[in-house]
Structure 1
Amino acid sequence: MYKNQLQELAQRSCFNLPSYACIREGPDHAPRFKATVNFNGEIFESPTFFSTLRQAEHAAAEVALSTLAKRGPSKTLAAKVLDETGVYKNLLQETAHRAGLNLPVYATVRSGPGHVPVFSCTVELAGMTFTGDPAKTKKQAQKNAAMAAWSSLKQSAYDFQCLPNLSTGHSHAFMHGIV
């Protein structure tokens, strides 16, 4: 998933496509992989070794996407493209699926005059509700809610011992998907 999103970001931004390199270690029967991705001249590395090359490349792509999303105003193009692709809605859905949770549920309310509507949206996930910034379209309001949820969960990930309504196993899987 992260590799696809990084490739889409490159295509939308007119950058060269990401290129991956890997380090393999360990015996043939139990290899471990660590990957790097070159994206627009910058190298991003997977945080640890993984049991498959695919996992290592996805982890490197996730590091790249996360780093690009956190950059300041001088790098707003990458952040804007990440938002336009709906990456946060995808991340929430993928994380919920991996953790065995119900998919995120969006509730959107329209207000304002008919010719200048304002849409506000909340998203519920794992018994928690998150509210995004108002927007001019329903689609953007949903993206804003997903971004608010993802940012909040990502920021709080290290503080959670377990999430409401989750078994210990699901909590670990849910947090693994976020971190």
Structure 2
Amino acid sequence: MYKNQLQELAQRSCFNLPSYTCLREGPDHAPRFKAAVNFNGEIFESPQYCSTLRQAEHSAAEVALNSLSSRGPSHSLAARILDETGVYKNLLQEIAQRVGAPLPQYTTYRSGLGHLPVFTGTVELAGITFTGEPAKNKKQAEKNAAMAAWSSLKQCKSLPSFFLSN
């Protein structure tokens, strides 16, 4: 999943496709792999060794996406594209699945004039509700709520072991 998202990000950003390198260690009957991905000139490494090459590459891609998304949409072209692709919604769903929590639930509220509506989205994840910035349409309001939740979870010091552990 992460390799596909990173490749999509590269294509939307007109960057070169991600390239992976791998380090293999251990005996032939029990090899271990650690991967790194070069994305737009930045190198992101898998945090630990994995039992398969595929797992190591996905781990490196996950590190890249997490790093790029933590910069926020205003700090880089890549982060803005991440917001546009809805990767924050995917990351929240992945977190919920990892910890056995119900999938995120989105609610959108419409306000404003009939011809100039304003949509505000919320997302509930594991009993916590996050509210995003207002938007011009429902889809963007949901993305904004997911981005607000992701940003909040990344900054929260008491939740990483529950929400953000690998």
TM-score, normalization by structure 1: 0.84
In structure 2, the partner of 1:69 is 69
- Note if contact 2:73-2:80 (Cα within 8 Å) is conserved in structure 1: no
In structure 2, the partner of 1:109 is 109
1:100 aligns to 2:100 (yes or no):
yes
In structure 1, the partner of 2:165 is 176
Aligned length: 166
Rounded to whole Å, the distance in 2 between the matches of 1:161 and 1:140 is: 26
In structure 1, the partner of 2:149 is 149
Structure 1 position 54, deviation (Å): 1.8
Q: Secondary structure at the match of 1:112?
A: strand
Rounded to whole Å, the distance in 2 between the matches of 1:98 and 1:41 is: 30
Quick check: 130-139 or 67-76, which moved more? 67-76
Cα 1:91–1:16 shift into 2, 3 Å: same
Amino acid at match of 1:140: Q
Cα 1:5–1:27 shift into 2, 3 Å: same
Q: Any gaps of 5 or more consecutive residues in structure 2?
A: none
CA shift digits 1:105-127 (9 cap, x unpaired): 01110000011111011111111
In structure 1, the partner of 2:159 is 160
CA RMSD of aligned residues (A): 2.1
Rounded to whole Å, the distance in 1 between the matches of 2:125 and 2:74 is: 33
Higher strand share: 2
CA shift digits 1:117-163 (9 cap, x unpaired): 1101111111111111111111011001001111112222x52387x
- Note if contact 2:9-2:82 (Cα within 8 Å) is conserved in structure 1: yes
Amino acid at match of 2:89: K
Rounded to whole Å, the distance in 1 between the matches of 2:125 and 2:90 is: 13
Amino acid at match of 1:176: S
TM-score, normalization by structure 2: 0.90
State the percentage of identical aligned residues: 75
Q: Secondary structure at the match of 2:92?
A: helix
Amino acid at match of 1:78: A
- Note if contact 1:32-1:49 (Cα within 8 Å) is conserved in structure 2: yes
Q: Secondary structure at the match of 2:108?
A: strand
Rounded to whole Å, the distance in 2 between the matches of 1:120 and 1:33 is: 44
Rounded to whole Å, the distance in 1 between the matches of 2:119 and 2:99 is: 30
